[in-house]
Structures are given as C-alpha cells and as structure tokens.
C-alpha cells in the first residue's frame, strides 16, 4: 500500500489518496463523475439504512419520481430555475445514428421540449402533488426519495462535489405555515442526530443568509461541520419553501369550511457528501478512522500462523471468535489473505476498521486475543470468554471519536469584535468565527471578497442596538458563524 501524503503537507492531496487507496471510490469516464466502489457503497448503505429508519419512523413514506424533468417545469418557479440554470444537464435529442462505425445525433429526433436531467425534484413532485391534493383530508403529504441527481459542476472533488451524486430528498405538503415550519425543524433534528449520534460529527445548526439560501426557499436551515483543515462543510439542509412551489404549480386545497387555500411546502436532503465529511473529520495520516456505528467492518480478525501449526484446531478457534462476535451483532471480517501480518495491520488501519484482533499461536494456546483500537492505538489482551465486552469497546470508540471531533471544533471556534481581529484570525489559519452582522447582502459580499469567508449560518437574531456589525459598524441584526468552506 502506498504511503499517504501527510495532512499537514497537503490536505487536499491526502483526502484524494485516502479515497483511492482505500477503495471508497474512483473517477468515472465522464469528467466530474465518480464510481462508488463496494467498500464506499457499504459505508453509504449503512448510513442510508440508519437515516431511512429515522425518516420512516417520523411518518414519511418512500417513493420514486422520474429522472427526466420537462424544462417548462423549472421555468414555473423563477428563483428556482435561476439557482440551477448553470448546473443543468439538458437532453435535446432522443436518438443516435450510425455511419461508418461512428455515432452521431439524429437531427430528426430533436425533442419538442428539452428535458432536464434531475438536479433536484421539487418541480416534478409538485406537478404530481397537484394530482394528489384537493382536500384538507389529503394533507399532510410526506414523501422521501432515494435517488441520484445531476448538477454539472465545473470543479469537482470525489464525494464532496461531483456531477452526479446519490442522496435522499424529502418533500412535504402542509395545510399551514406553522405545520410546515415544524416539519422543517424536525428534519434538522433528525440530521443532527444522524451526524452526532452515528457519524460522530459535531454540528452547528442555523439559518442561511439570503445569499446562501436554497433557490426558491423562504428559509434554509443548514448543518455545518468542521473538517480537519478547519474549513466548513455544509453537510445537509432543510428548507421551508412557503407557498412558492404550491403556487407555481397551482396546488390548493379545500379546508373544512370549503374555502380554497394555498399549500405550504418543505424540502430537505443529505447526500454522499457525508462520506467526504467522515473522511475529513476523523481521518489521520494513517488513513480512515470510521465510527463503529457506520463502519462496514467493525472488527477485523487477523490470524497469524506462518508455520500452519495445528491447522484444524487453529481454524476452529478463529471461527469460534468470529461466530461469537457475529452472535453479538458485530460486523466482522477474517483476513485469510497471504499478505504478511504487518501488511494486514497497515491495510486495515488505513481502511479505518475500529478494532483489529490478532490471533497467533501464543493467543491460541492461552485462549486469548490481542486487540488493537484504531482510534487511540492501544493494544490489550482479552480472554476469549470476555468477547462480549467488545460491544462496550465499540461504543467507547464511537463516543471517543465524537468527543475528539467536538473538542477540535471548540478549540478552533473563536469570537471577533473587530474586523481587524477577524482578518488576523483567518489569515493565520482556517477557523470558525462567531461575529455580529448587519444583515445586508452588501456587507456579506464585501467580507467574502476581503477574506474568502462566508456566512455559514445565522445562530440568533439580535434585538440590541449596542451590538454592532463587525464590518459596517451598523446595528447588528444577527449573530452568525463565518468560515472558509468547501
């Protein structure tokens, strides 16, 4: 296995090497696309299974909507189409023709209306909601979709920003603004739980500014996370859409008094970008470090018997260890490859497996196993009779990884009262900075121009004339978090 670049030398290069060397993903043949390999897809599947249960338990149903969207649908919501226009992949023809072994577009197959390859599904879903919603009895509608989307990105990076990616997108319709806003905030809490309780990633949650808000939304709430290079990653969003999409698609309902009223909407989503966050929050110079609750392999067993002594009894001992762990609902793998023990140790450390069990002839003879923890590198020996304690160890690793990440974020989250101090902190190193802001787009743009930092989210609204904007010195309207971001 190739030696990884150190994070301190080139974080971006380290990130890409970790993905490629550990078989999470590879580059697709079309620029900007990626192939998610089995180990990466197993990680995504574990996350998906956890989140899907949370979504279904909160009263949502899964459905599927078409990949192709008529261009006219996007044109119905002006802000929405403006936000996605530069990223859309467009289908204009339906056939190819072959001439002398080469293919070309059949000019006779030009479509009457161009088709957009799904960048997000609000428009097509609200087209269907118009068919489904006529009465208050039809509400609320709470739909989730697991799908792929296409956004024609110019600058791409595996998992973080690719032209096609996997995600879930939720779309709901409600009778009142209050109910829709309650839904928006409920999803934020589900995402917070996913990131903190399962991915061991601490979050900062708040509203987006006008410039950072989702195209077509009245309010966007975001889940912001800090990477090891102290940059921010927007890891998930939940949008209150008001009546924008309902009005655009003429979706109304009759209430109990037979009065026709508008429908209020939400949409929300997280994507395979979460895997990028996992890598950059927890990874180190040796490679991945995966939280046990989502790790494809929680425990790897490495048998060490170079002289093939007592092969049947030794194999039986290995099998007993594996079966005991499986019965305790631990995901395991036995490495029976012909690689050297040292190679195997490095291989599974790089892949981020939380616990490695080493079993040689000494352990076999004494009914012991040697355990190595990926999170802190400690090694201990344990009787085979105490294997059930590994579940507690996995929980300890999970909690320890969250605590480490939380401490790191807190140590690099500062407050600034002057723009000079603000610039000094950002020029020294990446960090998160809490500061007051006057609420104007102009101020936000000027700060971004001078520092490359953006408002990640609004933490609270201010009703205190003594609080001044860090840049304009005008009365502050909000306390926000600034950071440089992916």
Q: What is the pLDDT of residues 369-383, one digit of tens each?
A: 999 999 999 999 999
Structural domains of the chain sorted by starting position, each given as residue range(s) with its CATH number in brackets: 11-95+107-282 (3.30.930.10), 299-393 (3.40.50.800), 414-483 (3.30.110.30)
Write down the pLDDT at residue 85: 85
Q: What is the pLDDT of residues 427-442, one digit of tens each?
A: 999 999 999 999 999 9
- Sequence-distant (6+) residues with CB within 8 A of 146 are 48, 52, 62, 64, 166, 167, 168
Alpha helices in 22-121 (DSSP H): 38-57, 71-75, 78-84
Q: What is the pLDDT of residues 192-226, one digit of tens each?
A: 999 999 999 999 999 999 999 998 899 999 999 99
Task: Give the chain's largest Cα–Cα span.
Answer: 84
Write down the pLDDT at residue 77: 80
Alpha helices in 194-272 (DSSP H): 244-248
Write down the pLDDT at residue 100: 85
Please give the mean pLDDT across all residues of the chain: 96
Closest CA to 291 of 392, 396, 144, 216: 396
At residue 168 the predicted structure's pLDDT band, cuts being 50, 70 and 90, is very high
At residue 22 the predicted structure's pLDDT band, cuts being 50, 70 and 90, is very high
C-alpha 240/C-alpha 233 separation (Å) is 21
Structure-token pair, residue 468:
């001044």
Q: What is the pTM of this model?
A: 0.95
The SS3 assignment for 307 reads coil
Answer for the pair 26, 37: CB distance below 8 angstroms, yes or no: yes
Write down the pLDDT at residue 83: 78
CA dihedral 57, 63, 68, 70 (to 10 degrees): -90
Write down the pLDDT at residue 79: 76
The shares of helix, strand and coil residues in the chain, as percent rounded to the nearest 5, are: 35, 30, 30
At residue 101 the predicted structure's pLDDT band, cuts being 50, 70 and 90, is confident
**Per-residue 3-state assignment (H helix, E strand, C coil) for 366-411:** HCEEEEEECCCCCEEEEEHHHHHHHHHHHHHHHHHHHHHHHHHHHH
Q: What is the pLDDT of residues 50-77, one digit of tens each?
A: 999 999 999 999 999 999 999 999 888 8
Write down the pLDDT at residue 1: 66
pLDDT at 346 > cutoff 70? yes
C-alpha 332/C-alpha 68 separation (Å) is 41
Q: What is the pLDDT of residues 402-426, one digit of tens each?
A: 999 999 999 999 999 999 999 999 9
**Per-residue 3-state assignment (H helix, E strand, C coil) for 7-18:** CCCCHHHHHHHH
pLDDT at 81 > cutoff 80? no
Closest CA to 379 of 407, 349, 335: 349
467, with CB counted inside 10 A (0-12, 13-18, 19+), is middle
pLDDT at 312 > cutoff 70? yes
pLDDT at 154 > cutoff 90? no
Write down the pLDDT at residue 80: 78
Q: How far is CA 46 from CA 39, 43, 194, 299, 388, in A?
A: 11, 5, 12, 15, 22
Q: How many CB atoms lie within 10 A of CB 273?
A: 22
């Amino acid at each position: 296995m190739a030696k990884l670049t150190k994070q301190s030398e080139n974080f971006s290069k380290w990130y890409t090497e970790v993905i490629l060397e550990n078989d999470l993903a590879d580059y697709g043949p079309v620029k900007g696309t990626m192939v998610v390999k089995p180990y990466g897809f197993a990680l995504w599947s574990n996350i998906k299974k956890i989140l899907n249960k949370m979504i279904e338990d909160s009263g949502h149903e899964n459905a599927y909507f078409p990949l192709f969207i008529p261009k006219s649908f996007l044109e119905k919501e002006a802000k929405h189409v403006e936000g996605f226009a530069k990223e859309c992949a467009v289908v204009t023809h339906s056939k190819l023709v072959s001439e002398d072994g080469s293919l070309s577009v059949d000019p006779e197959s030009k479509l009457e209306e161009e088709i957009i390859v799904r960048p997000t599904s609000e428009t097509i879903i609200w087209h269907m909601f118009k068919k489904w919603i006529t009465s208050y009895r039809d509400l609320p509608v709470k739909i989730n979709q697991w799908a792929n989307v296409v956004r024609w990105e110019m600058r791409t990076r595996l998992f973080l920003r690719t032209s096609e990616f996997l995600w879930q997108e939720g779309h709901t319709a409600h009778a009142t603004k209050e109910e829709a806003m309650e839904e928006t905030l409920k999803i934020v809490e589900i995402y917070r739980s996913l990131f903190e309780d399962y991915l061991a990633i601490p979050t900062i949650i708040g509203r987006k500014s006008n410039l950072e808000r989702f195209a077509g939304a009245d309010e966007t709430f975001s889940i912001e996370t800090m990477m090891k290079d102290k940059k921010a990653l927007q890891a998930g969003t939940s949008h209150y859409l008001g009546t924008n999409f309902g009005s655009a698609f003429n979706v109304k309902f009759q209430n109990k008094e037979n009065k026709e009223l508008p429908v209020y909407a939400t949409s929300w989503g997280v994507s395979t970008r979460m895997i990028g966050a996992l890598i950059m929050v927890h990874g180190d110079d040796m490679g991945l470090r995966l939280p046990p609750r989502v790790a494809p392999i929680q425990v790897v067993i490495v048998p060490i018997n170079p002289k093939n002594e007592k092969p049947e009894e030794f194999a039986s001992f290995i099998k007993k260890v594996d079966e005991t762990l499986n019965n305790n609902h631990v995901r395991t793998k036995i490495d029976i490859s012909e690689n050297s023990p040292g190679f195997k140790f490095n291989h599974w450390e790089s892949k981020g497996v939380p616990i490695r069990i080493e079993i040689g002839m000494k352990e076999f003879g004494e009914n012991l196993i040697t355990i190595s923890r990926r999170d802190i590198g400690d090694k201990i020996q344990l009787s085979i009779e105490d294997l059930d304690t590994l579940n507690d160890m996995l929980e300890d690793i999970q909690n320890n990884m969250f605590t480490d990440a939380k401490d790191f974020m807190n140590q690099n989250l500062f407050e600034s009262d002057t723009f000079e101090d603000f610039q000094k902190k950002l020029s020294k190193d990446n960090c998160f900075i809490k500061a007051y802001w006057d609420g104007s787009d102009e101020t936000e743009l000027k700060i971004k121009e001078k520092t490359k930092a953006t408002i990640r989210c609004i933490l609270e609204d201010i009703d205190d004339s003594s609080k001044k904007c860090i840049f304009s010195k005008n009365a502050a309207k909000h306390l926000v978090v600034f950071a440089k971001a992916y």
